[in-house]
A and B are shown apart, each in its own frame.
Chain A
């Protein structure tokens, strides 16, 4: 079984540009979450989507947006990139939401974004 897949794995952008990161969850998983990991820190929650609806948003500016498609894959979009957006962006999938199944998140390998 394929795990969580993310693309691209690495990318370089310049300040002010826009980026789209993509994620395919584990087959059968209906929830996708996005996390940002800056060097030396733990992952920080950005968004969670379940059944194509946003179910949670972290403390990130409106430049960050996401969506989930009918096949449960997801995109994370970041507009007007800043140097501080340089990070590893992790996508995680889970079966469902709290109270429905166990809570383990399964992470992809991440997309390493460098903003110059």
Chain B
């Protein structure tokens, strides 16, 4: 049962434009969400997080939106840069369980074209 889904395996965007990566989840008990970026041969790097008490969190070029009723979150990157080309994972957790057990999606490969 895939509780966190990233339905787009890949995305190509022109440099300078907006990249929008989407993530859906099924468990309404999830209350903390993160986005990670992964380059080949490296571990995932934390990008941005959002708690379920918020619907938006912004950090520089990165903004995460959370729509709890739709069980959907998205990551916006503006403007996109060639260095943003990587695989992006969303992850969700139920922090009331007392652990940070994160459920990850399968990832979206973003390619930013120069």
Contact = CB atoms under 8 A, between A and B. Distances in A.
A and B physically associate:
yes
Nearest to A91: B43
- Interface-central residue, B42, B97, B99, B103, by most chain A CB under 10 Å: B99
Contacts of B41: 109
A98 B106 contact: no
Interface residues of A, number: 29
A29 to B, nearest CB: 11
26 contacts: A33-B101, A42-B6, A42-B91, A42-B104, A43-B89, A43-B91, A43-B102, A44-B104, A45-B103, A48-B100, A48-B101, A55-B98, A56-B97, A97-B100, A98-B96, A98-B97, A99-B95, A103-B32, A103-B49, A103-B93, A103-B95, A104-B34, A104-B46, A105-B100, A105-B102, A107-B46
Interface of A: 4, 31, 33, 35, 40-45, 48, 55-56, 58, 90, 92, 94, 97-99, 102-110
B42 A33 contact: no
B82 interface: no
A42 B100 contact: no
A50 B76 CA distance: 33
B89 A42 contact: yes
Please give me the 9 A-B residue pairs with the lowest Cβ-Cβ distance, nearest first.
A42-B104, A98-B95, A107-B43, A56-B99, A109-B43, A56-B101, A107-B44, A43-B104, A45-B101
